[in-house]
Structure 1
């Protein structure tokens, strides 16, 4: 080699050796989070990079691995977004990671949970120990037949009053009150435990109740001894809405446990399952999986689908084994929220009928957030809608006025009518709506709702009921009868009139 060529080659080698390989980022590797809020329960972060390309995920107890979207380093800080499962207007949420004293400080928000946690650097082998264990959904099978819930279920549920703060003693007290107040005899049958009963799984994966429920079989036996039935709650996700153990990966096992304990009703709430089952196909299959598991136990269950009215649930709810399906998000104890659901979010009437019902959520009657007129509207709307009647107040504190409202036999009969028709608006005039609900005996229930802020007066006509004439009128709330409709009905602000008419 000539001296000139050698010199050129040497210089080139010097230049090449002086150009280091692209360095990994300071965030590359496995980071373990040992102390983090339970919701969403961040356990690990994994980051890897190649040149300018960065990818990674944050593993949580609620949602499994949360993929980093558009990860990038700006001013030494790793920024990324994560998909937001509950806000179509804001489909992503911002996250960041900064290295502080050798730890990764992770900050962000997912759904309603704020995250600000520190993780320690660890080895790759630790990632396998904390890796989320995915489970596969079975395909949809043949429609699951149902011969129960010929009329909308009636009962009580713990959530609206007690939230997750429910226990064995309170459930027994509610069963006692159902009997002593006459609510059971009025038709309220189910005593349902909502979220907050779950403990941990044993070595075999069998879910145990927490310390507030020392003996589930003894509890169900007690409720059954009162001539009542009892319900329980779960989610197809890893966590329930309140952060307790869900049924993800244990569906058949949990259904068997509920049957062995003696439960008669399951409310199945999508909650963290939204992350895994985010389209119509996977949501349907996740509900079918539990519906088939309940059927396989050989025990009769009311199956309540709680997925907030997504993907036209009423059009397929029966096929997955459901007898009722939520049409909306959670109700709250105030008139605007109740009215929005009752008037506008109560489901397609074509979907409702014997063995399958639109569920606009539980009753707030008796919880104190509305006036008597507003609660009467609430009860009238649910009755006209053929909705499940699930009370949500402390039954031990039921006032005489509330008890009279909840046990009115004519109002209950409208809700429970065997024809199973969901009533709907037949006339709207300003803030006033007239609803009609055909009944099995040929009569028609009519309701006059005043959604306005001042009292109003409006007539009801035979045409509202689809009749040529009306010769029998019974006031559903007072029981007063007449042989014709009055010239007009006076309806208080946010109030209702409900009558049963026949020709």
Structure 2
């Protein structure tokens, strides 16, 4: 309806003598726009002095502006900014000259300076964004038996970004087997952003030249005793600017199933403009959840919406098996610890079939010390987080492999009870966390977030037990006498124990 009104205003404006209109009114076209955000058109209408209109982009469709004001040959207006709570509104300007317009503004991380030319109503129709059908009413998808424990595997994004290809994916599958990582539980080989090509005449999304045969690739990974995942967005563009699934949800879900994928990561990305409140975000994930179920193929469903709108409370009901609780991790102690200690613990509802996801592992990428990586793995394991590696597996050091394949620590993460551990004692920079386990034992994690080594001594009370009878140091792989549970924990380091005792 808004675009019909704008079009009518434009038609009326074009029928008025030129001297009666301001220089701003009408349709303005931008050719050869930079890929992000891909501004293609500016539409401006004047209704009795009220300036309205939109900026059309390839990523976000038509972005309606507010507070439009024309002074002389300059239009100023405000656009809602994408994914930036600190600066939710950005001011734009359009400077008009006899030869065209210069549009200037900022959106997310991009600065836009584009020169455009005047167009007409037919141009506006040709460049108009094609909206997808309305989202389905929100419903509930019945739980299945997938993801009884947190998923484990590897993803391409942290190391390779969108520079990923068929050969590298096959090499990662081979290395999972050769290093023993597969046998330790890392089963999923996940292709993240960067595989997408264009749609064919029937609207079926094709892979780009780096992935010549997706079905052959999934068959190869399956032949190694592994599973394979893929990535898309509910927006027109993925985070790296490739073709998204907007308007093609059912078709793309069936394509992924036909190719033989076992896991889908669905990333909000440019969908943030279209789905900008809790109801729309939930319905957009529900739409893909329904589409995946309709294929008849069992696929893990990973929701990537950065923890918005209390996702752990509704992730299961839209078909999700894991859901991101945070923005992207990076390979440094500050970001990792902020996510692990502060962000992920805010979310509940984790357990068999659905898991809080604090993002991928950075172990093996080299940005942290071994003690910091021990903290990283300990935090993820005690919180029952998915363990999805993000480094080049071919370059895994002996130390990194030793950490990643520690069966005792993996067993804490994969425990059948599915409890997300929590902090039970804090003393400044020192924290003790507890996780109850299916066999009646308890995992305790001792964390030193300070800058110097510190003594720590867990007690039976920390484990919610009357008395401790057994203890095992999981990183050292050795039993510890319960009378000797005194540790000097390194700066940014951790100790992980599995203890048994008498109930209170």
Say which is worse superposed, 218-227 or 115-124, in terms of deviation: 115-124
**Structure 2 Cα separation of the partners of residues 112 and 101 of structure 1:** 31
> Structure 1 residue 479: deviation in Å?
1.1
- TM-score, length-scaled by structure 2: 0.94
Flag the structure with larger Rg: 1
> Structure 1 residue 281: deviation in Å?
0.5
Residues 212-227 of structure 1 aligned to structure 2 (within 5 Å): 212-227=210-225
> Structure 1 residue 75: deviation in Å?
4.8
**Structure 2 Cα separation of the partners of residues 319 and 171 of structure 1:** 32
Q: Report whether the alignment pairs 1:23 with 2:25.
A: no
> Structure 1 residue 21: deviation in Å?
10
Out of 107, 110, 119, the residue aligned to residue 104 of structure 2 is 107
Give the structure 1 partner of residue 230 of structure 2: 232
> Structure 1 residue 44: deviation in Å?
1.0
Out of 451, 456, 467, the residue aligned to residue 469 of structure 1 is 467
> Structure 1 residue 309: deviation in Å?
0.4
Say which is worse superposed, 159-168 or 474-483, in terms of deviation: 474-483
**For the Cα contact (< 8 Å) 2:345–2:422, is it kept in 1?**
no
Residues 28-47 of structure 1 aligned to structure 2 (within 5 Å): 28-47=25-44
* SS of 1:285 mapped into structure 2: helix
Q: Report whether the alignment pairs 1:97 with 2:103.
A: no
> Structure 1 residue 58: deviation in Å?
0.8
**Structure 1 Cα separation of the partners of residues 232 and 112 of structure 2:** 25
**For the Cα contact (< 8 Å) 2:159–2:390, is it kept in 1?**
yes
Say which is worse superposed, 425-434 or 22-31, in terms of deviation: 22-31
Change (3 A) 1:457 1:94: same
**Structure 2 Cα separation of the partners of residues 168 and 106 of structure 1:** 40
**For the Cα contact (< 8 Å) 1:237–1:246, is it kept in 2?**
yes
Q: Report whether the alignment pairs 1:300 with 2:298.
A: yes
> Structure 1 residue 487: deviation in Å?
5.0
Out of 372, 375, 394, the residue aligned to residue 374 of structure 1 is 372
**Structure 1 Cα separation of the partners of residues 248 and 345 of structure 2:** 31
**Structure 2 Cα separation of the partners of residues 201 and 314 of structure 1:** 34
Q: Report whether the alignment pairs 1:80 with 2:94.
A: no
Give the structure 2 partner of residue 434 of structure 1: 432
> Structure 1 residue 74: deviation in Å?
3.0
**For the Cα contact (< 8 Å) 1:314–1:348, is it kept in 2?**
no
Write the deviation string for residues 28-52 of structure 1: whole angstroms up to 9, x where unpaired.
1111111111111111111111342
* SS of 2:171 mapped into structure 1: helix
**Structure 2 Cα separation of the partners of residues 166 and 350 of structure 1:** 34
- TM-score, length-scaled by structure 1: 0.94
In structure 2, the gaps of 5 or more residues are 1-16
Write the deviation string for residues 270-306 of structure 1: whole angstroms up to 9, x where unpaired.
0111101111100000000000000000000000000
**For the Cα contact (< 8 Å) 1:22–1:51, is it kept in 2?**
no
Residues 309-328 of structure 1 aligned to structure 2 (within 5 Å): 309-328=307-326
* SS of 1:472 mapped into structure 2: strand
Out of 114, 128, 136, the residue aligned to residue 117 of structure 1 is 114
* SS of 1:367 mapped into structure 2: coil
**Structure 2 Cα separation of the partners of residues 350 and 50 of structure 1:** 50
> Structure 1 residue 197: deviation in Å?
0.5
* SS of 1:289 mapped into structure 2: helix
**Structure 1 Cα separation of the partners of residues 218 and 298 of structure 2:** 14
> Structure 1 residue 388: deviation in Å?
0.1
Root-mean-square deviation (CA), in Å? 1.3
**Structure 2 Cα separation of the partners of residues 492 and 264 of structure 1:** 40
* SS of 1:95 mapped into structure 2: strand
Change (3 A) 1:362 1:485: farther
Number of aligned residue pairs: give it: 484
**For the Cα contact (< 8 Å) 1:357–1:388, is it kept in 2?**
yes
**For the Cα contact (< 8 Å) 1:240–1:271, is it kept in 2?**
yes
Give the structure 1 partner of residue 177 of structure 2: 179
Residues 281-430 of structure 1 aligned to structure 2 (within 5 Å): 281-348=279-346, 350-430=348-428
**Structure 2 Cα separation of the partners of residues 119 and 462 of structure 1:** 71
* SS of 2:201 mapped into structure 1: coil
> Structure 1 residue 103: deviation in Å?
1.7
Change (3 A) 1:49 1:412: same
Write the deviation string for residues 458-496 of structure 1: whole angstroms up to 9, x where unpaired.
110010000111111101111110331425210010000
**Structure 2 Cα separation of the partners of residues 409 and 237 of structure 1:** 39
**For the Cα contact (< 8 Å) 1:68–1:82, is it kept in 2?**
yes
Say which is worse superposed, 468-477 or 23-32, in terms of deviation: 23-32
Give the structure 1 partner of residue 5 of structure 2: none
* SS of 2:374 mapped into structure 1: helix
* SS of 1:34 mapped into structure 2: coil
**Structure 2 Cα separation of the partners of residues 88 and 170 of structure 1:** 37
**Structure 2 Cα separation of the partners of residues 142 and 49 of structure 1:** 45
Moved over 4 A (4+): none
**Structure 2 Cα separation of the partners of residues 51 and 438 of structure 1:** 67
